[in-house]
Structure 1
Amino acid sequence: MKVYLESFGCSASLASAEIMKASVERLGHELLGPAAAAEAEVYICNSCTVKYTTEQKILYKVRSMGEKGVQVIVSGCMPEVQLEDILHANPEAHILGVNAISRLGELLSLIERRMAEGLPAGGYLELRTSEPLGFLNVPRERSNPNIHICQISQGCNFACSYCIVKNARGKLRSFPPEDIVKDIRSAVAEGCREIWLTSQDDSQYGMDTGVKLPKLLCMISEIPEDFKVRVGMMNPFSVLPILDELVDAFDSDKVFKLLHLPIQSASHSVLKRMNRLHKMDAVDEIITKFRTRFEDLSLFTDIIVGFCDETDEDFEETVEWVKKYRPEKINISRYSPRPHTKAFSFRNLDSRISVQRSHALHKVCEQIKLGSKQEMIGWKGRVFVSKYTEMGDVLTRTDAYRPVVISGSGLKPGEYANVEITGAKPGYFMGKLIG
């Protein structure tokens, strides 16, 4: 069969998509690219339900593909929490549970049998598993052959009032550390030189088993060969209990000095309504300890603007925090009410206020980025070659994960080089080799 797979959402979702693509090809089906999507007999939608706009885009694709006579499979988070919406859009859409990516082949075989025998659709097929299976040590069709995305756990033990993902992925289940190390060791042997650790919250890893994230990072750092590890998002309230050990683990030469610490808001009243279990003095402690140990640290954060009953004063607290700590990257989202969450029943702000605040915060962030980029021009130091660009140049990373593109160098992924940053583009720096 001709199969087209489209994935939405986070890096964990992307990792699942890579595994499912490999499964499609391993079974002898033809995996189509976006340009050939119109030829598909089967459309796999690896869904995300974090934002309303994404949800609506997915429901449109599920409906329109079904109307064209294409067999539709919906995987990812949406089937766990919005099954009725999916089946309303397409009553014949088949369902693959978020934990059941290893059963895709089974589902494709059932669909193929129906098509070969000319049987009527007969309603949707649904395959699920209660525990996550097939996320590690399985073949992948990687989006980039030099980058391996390793999901280290499934689910979350906390309950932010706005978050639907907890309902979709369930309680925290950390994958065995020895399986993770084996998975990464195999990826490195296959030529991957950049490893992304991903989950709903990396710093929760091991809270249910005993082997915490710092220990896991030490185990990964012991794998031979040259590669770098990018640790994914970590919530302040789950970082704090392991802070000292985590800073020590980041001291490894194999770990990028990148701290992705979502605050969502700097207002304590908003954080309380969000059920975010941290105070801003804890955020300050975390950032201070990381910046004290690693002078050249990149700070990423996530912020939600326009959360229920957010006042002008609440928003200004967040803006002032951004100006003080100057993160290199801020993922800004306008609050989007999600079904089955506690915040769904809260009173929402006028959407025009959210739009205004989003624009204002984006403007502040752009000013900070511009200043930071100018400060980096002339910087000299060691970089790690991550991957080739579409233009045939190489994308390198500083120890703090800042992207530097080098042209005409002959460098290969996995190598180190000394460079000087000579200019800045909107999404990266330009550099040249130095002795």
Structure 2
Amino acid sequence: PQIVELLGAGTVCAERAVDVESEQSAWRDAIVPIAQGCAGRCTYCITRVARGRVSSYPIEDLVSRIRGYVATGIRDIKLTGQDTAAYGMDVGETLATLMDSATLVDGDFRVRIGMMDPLTALPILPDLIRAYASPKVYKFLHLPVQSGDDGILDAMRREYRVADFERIVTEFRRAYPEISLSTDIIVGFPGETEDAFAGTMDLVRRTRPDVVNVTRFSPRAGTPAATRQDQIAGWRVKERSRRLTHLRISIAREIHEGFVGRELPILTTEPGKAGTTLARTDAYRQVVLPSEEPIGEFGVARILAGREADLVGELISAPRYPRSEGMDS
């Protein structure tokens, strides 16, 4: 019961360790879990205890599910797991191989790759970047760094360096200059000094993620981090969270404002509020269209405004297959 409660409460690992394994959402998308378990040993997370080591589903079964979804008109496929880059390490396969097989399925659709850990992404980096080249793969990278300080990463037992995270980001951006980067950061981990937090702020300034999911450290019963004596005062954690949130909002707005006036390929994904429609670009950036449009259709939108969380655009053409926004020219 405690494990279920902890998973329900959420952690910062792997889609918050709550990969809702629904067969299909309310709109024209499908969630496809590719594995269970985690390769990490993070001191703050209960996922390894709850889900165990990595256990991957067979590629042929996953491809069959994807083929079935596409045949019914699903256009938006989400591959999920506690750590998608760990896929296949238990059976001699890799995430890149799965991506290659999935994108060979006939039909017009997009695949979003879920959160991957730098620890498991780094060994397969060249193949992973190559697999992203398919126009069917959203140019979207969810790569949680958790801290910009190597000492804190050691205390978290993340088993990679800040430089490893930056290398992955740099190489992906070299191949796909406008790839959308999402990362997760824990603020106030036990032992985090002001200098360590400053390192995190500097990392965010250097790498400029499109999305930063900020989590205030909260001790989870049964984890090593919960028993540490150097817990950070709550008021200080809140203050650091506010500073980081202000920074990430500023960066996100600047990035999105840079798209104003451009015409981007989109896929309509779900109805929005008050007669609007939500869509995704090829780099998985959200676009709000001011009109009601059919869901699951490709088109082109002219971007009219950039906001903190999304773009505002207008549909300007019938569905077609233009070159991906995230691809190099």
- TM-score normalised according to structure 1 size: 0.67
Q: CA separation of 1:316/1:47 partners in 2, compared to 1, >3 Å: closer, same or farther?
A: closer
CA contact (8 A) 2:266 2:279 kept: yes
Match of 1:324 in 2: 206
Match of 1:48 in 2: 8
The match for 1:356 among 216, 230, 239 is: 239
The match for 2:140 among 254, 258, 263 is: 258
Q: Which runs of 4+ in 1 moved over 4 A?
A: none
For residues 246 and 86 of structure 2, the distance between their equivalents in structure 1, rounded to whole angstroms, comes to: 33
Match of 1:370 in 2: 253
SS for the counterpart of 2:251 is helix
CA contact (8 A) 1:403 1:428 kept: yes
CA contact (8 A) 1:147 1:195 kept: yes
Task: Tell me how far 1:336 sits from its aligned partner.
Answer: 0.8
Percent pairwise identity: 36
For residues 308 and 253 of structure 2, the distance between their equivalents in structure 1, rounded to whole angstroms, comes to: 9
Structure 1 residue 399 and structure 2 residue 265: aligned? no
Amino acid at match of 1:288: T
CA contact (8 A) 2:271 2:292 kept: no
For residues 379 and 263 of structure 1, the distance between their equivalents in structure 2, rounded to whole angstroms, comes to: 31
Match of 2:163 in 1: 281
Structure 1 residue 424 and structure 2 residue 296: aligned? no
Match of 1:177 in 2: 59
The number of equivalent residue pairs is 309
Alignment of 1:167-316 (within 5 A): 167-316=49-198
Q: CA separation of 1:343/1:214 partners in 2, compared to 1, >3 Å: closer, same or farther?
A: same
For structure 2, the 5+ residue unaligned runs are 318-329
Task: Tell me how far 1:46 sits from its aligned partner.
Answer: 11
Q: CA separation of 1:325/1:426 partners in 2, compared to 1, >3 Å: closer, same or farther?
A: closer
Q: CA separation of 1:251/1:51 partners in 2, compared to 1, >3 Å: closer, same or farther?
A: closer
Match of 1:152 in 2: 34
Q: CA separation of 1:158/1:425 partners in 2, compared to 1, >3 Å: closer, same or farther?
A: closer
For residues 330 and 147 of structure 1, the distance between their equivalents in structure 2, rounded to whole angstroms, comes to: 24
For residues 432 and 351 of structure 1, the distance between their equivalents in structure 2, rounded to whole angstroms, comes to: 44
CA contact (8 A) 2:56 2:88 kept: yes
Q: Deviations over 1:52-107 (max 9, x none)?
A: 9xxxxxxxxxxxxxxxxxxxxxxxx99xxxxxxxxxxxxxxxxxxx9xx9xxxxxx
Amino acid at match of 1:264: Q
Match of 2:216 in 1: 334
For residues 269 and 25 of structure 2, the distance between their equivalents in structure 1, rounded to whole angstroms, comes to: 14
Task: Tell me how far 1:397 sits from its aligned partner.
Answer: 1.3
Task: Tell me how far 1:265 sits from its aligned partner.
Answer: 0.2
For residues 240 and 276 of structure 2, the distance between their equivalents in structure 1, rounded to whole angstroms, comes to: 38
Amino acid at match of 1:282: D
Amino acid at match of 2:136: K
Q: CA separation of 1:350/1:419 partners in 2, compared to 1, >3 Å: closer, same or farther?
A: same
CA contact (8 A) 2:146 2:185 kept: yes
SS for the counterpart of 1:431 is strand
For residues 147 and 291 of structure 2, the distance between their equivalents in structure 1, rounded to whole angstroms, comes to: 43
CA RMSD of aligned residues (A): 2.4
Q: Deviations over 1:15-72 (max 9, x none)?
A: xxxxxxxxxxxxxxxxxxxxxxxxxxxxxx99614359xxxxxxxxxxxxxxxxxxxx
For residues 302 and 177 of structure 2, the distance between their equivalents in structure 1, rounded to whole angstroms, comes to: 18
My pick for the range that moved more, 362-371 or 209-218, is 362-371
Q: CA separation of 1:431/1:296 partners in 2, compared to 1, >3 Å: closer, same or farther?
A: same
Q: CA separation of 1:254/1:326 partners in 2, compared to 1, >3 Å: closer, same or farther?
A: same
For residues 167 and 6 of structure 2, the distance between their equivalents in structure 1, rounded to whole angstroms, comes to: 38
For residues 151 and 46 of structure 1, the distance between their equivalents in structure 2, rounded to whole angstroms, comes to: 20
Task: Tell me how far 1:409 sits from its aligned partner.
Answer: 6.6
For residues 182 and 61 of structure 2, the distance between their equivalents in structure 1, rounded to whole angstroms, comes to: 28
- TM-score normalised according to structure 2 size: 0.88
For residues 395 and 352 of structure 1, the distance between their equivalents in structure 2, rounded to whole angstroms, comes to: 37
Structure with more relative contact order (C-alpha pairs < 8 Å, separation 6 or more):
2
For residues 192 and 228 of structure 1, the distance between their equivalents in structure 2, rounded to whole angstroms, comes to: 9
Task: Tell me how far 1:256 sits from its aligned partner.
Answer: 0.4
Task: Tell me how far 1:426 sits from its aligned partner.
Answer: 4.6
For residues 221 and 181 of structure 1, the distance between their equivalents in structure 2, rounded to whole angstroms, comes to: 9
Q: CA separation of 1:391/1:223 partners in 2, compared to 1, >3 Å: closer, same or farther?
A: farther
SS for the counterpart of 2:258 is helix
For residues 46 and 308 of structure 1, the distance between their equivalents in structure 2, rounded to whole angstroms, comes to: 19
Considering fraction of residues, name the structure with more helix: 1
Q: Deviations over 1:393-419 (max 9, x none)?
A: 332211111111223374x33332222
CA contact (8 A) 1:263 1:302 kept: yes
SS for the counterpart of 1:343 is helix
For structure 1, the 5+ residue unaligned runs are 1-12, 14-44, 53-76, 79-97, 102-134
